[in-house]
Every structure is written in C-alpha cells, then in structure tokens.
Structure 1
Amino acid sequence: MSDAPACPLCALDHTYADGALWICPDCGHEWSDGDAPTESASVVRDCNGNPLAEGDTVVVIKDLKVKGSSIPLKQGTVIRNIRLVEDDPEHIEGHSDKIKGLVLKTCFLRKA
C-alpha cells in the first residue's frame, strides 16, 4: 500500500489499483499513471480571470433577464455566498436579495 499514489483531487492516500486504473474510494476519482492532474481544468474563474471559491461574493457586470421571473438582475447586483456547480466551471449557484435559486454564467460575474 505504500507505493499507491495520493489522489490528485482530494489528496487522500486511500487509493488502490484496479487493473490499469487507480481509484480513490473517498471522492470516486479514477485515473491512470500517465494522466495529468485535472485540478487546473476545473478551476472556476470570473470574467476577469480571478479564481472563484465556495462562499465568495460576486457582482453582476451587465443587466440579465432571468428565466421564470419578471424581475431582471441589474448591473451591480451582489450575489453572496456562491456555490460552485460540480463538473461545470462555467456556472455558479447563488441568491440575490430578490431572486432565490439562481444559476449564473461566470462570464457575467466579477469577484467582489
């Protein structure tokens, strides 16, 4: 077990080999020995290229129409305590003061 590499996603060392693949039972990630770490591919970035994380505050950079609501999101609206969408670096989830349950594209947001 000492020759097993740590998981490139969660960095835990409970990995095991299954044929040609390494498997992490903690996060479910599978990779082969030749795979490059996929960590950089899933970095969520705002319109200026700043990395976003869970719980960050972002600001809307242009007026947006919201599906299912008659209230638009105005430029400068603050979205607090964002959540990242798993396996999708182009979207985040959050709430504004007036609209709950928003899913927004990161190209229309900047980090506050």
Structure 2
Amino acid sequence: MMICPDCAHEWDPREPAAEVEAEPEIKDSNGNPLRTGDAALLIKDLKLKGGSGTLKAGTKVKNIRLVPGDHPIDCKIDGVSYLLKPEFLKKA
C-alpha cells in the first residue's frame, strides 16, 4: 500500500494500471511542461503521512517519471520512491 505525502491518498501499486497511449500533458507550478526524465525542485515543505519525515523545499528530484492517476509524478528522493502532484514542483 502506498500513501501520498500531501493528501494521504492510498493505493495498491500491484493493481494493474490502465494502458496509456500518449504521455499526459503535465505542467509544473509555473506552467512549464514536465516530461519523463526531467529534473525538478520542490517548492514547499511536504510532511510525510504515516511517518515523521519531511521533504524540504528546494530538494532536487532527478529523473521523474510521468504516470497516470491522481499523483502523476513518480520519483525517487534519497532512494525512497514517492508519487507527487505537479503543483509542488518547478522544473529545474
């Protein structure tokens, strides 16, 4: 079970994902288009639900992956996988 650090949305990553033909148009907080493989920066601190940690503003997120769903950005920060919303990122 995975949990969103911002809104506490829960989902099972083992559920089959719907097939997506084209990469969705995702824009960052400034309106710049994000693509798979881009780097981005967090624009505000995000408290982690279910834990005591915080993702700090200014943290660089490398090699993002766009996925379908409520949280369309899949990334790794310090070796931990997170699914984020684009309104908390700006393109680096």
Query: Under a length normalisation based on structure 2, what TM-score does the superposition of the two structures give?
Result: 0.68
- The 3 A distance-change label for structure 1 pair 53 and 28 is closer
Q: Does 1:92 align with 2:73?
A: yes
The runs of 4+ residues in structure 1 deviating greater than 2 Å are 88-91
In 2, Cα distance between the equivalents of 1:28 and 1:82? Answer: 17
- The 3 A distance-change label for structure 1 pair 49 and 89 is farther
2:45 paired residue number: 63
In 1, Cα distance between the equivalents of 2:80 and 2:20? Answer: 31
Q: Does 1:106 align with 2:86?
A: yes
Q: How many residues align?
A: 74
- The 3 A distance-change label for structure 1 pair 100 and 51 is same
Structure 2 unaligned regions, length at least 5: 1-18
2:36 paired residue number: 54
Alpha-carbon contact 1:44-1:90 (below 8 Å) kept: no
Structure with greater contact order relative to length (CA < 8 Å, sep ≥ 6): 2
Matches for 1:35-50 after TM superposition, within 5 Å:
42-50=24-32
Backbone CA RMSD of aligned residues? 2.5
- The 3 A distance-change label for structure 1 pair 28 and 64 is closer
Instruction: After TM superposition, give the deviation of residue 28 of structure 1 in Å.
Output: 7.8
Instruction: After TM superposition, give the deviation of residue 67 of structure 1 in Å.
Output: 2.2
Query: Under a length normalisation based on structure 1, what TM-score does the superposition of the two structures give?
Result: 0.57
Instruction: After TM superposition, give the deviation of residue 69 of structure 1 in Å.
Output: 3.0
Structure 1 unaligned regions, length at least 5: 1-26, 30-38
- The 3 A distance-change label for structure 1 pair 106 and 49 is same
Larger radius of gyration: 1
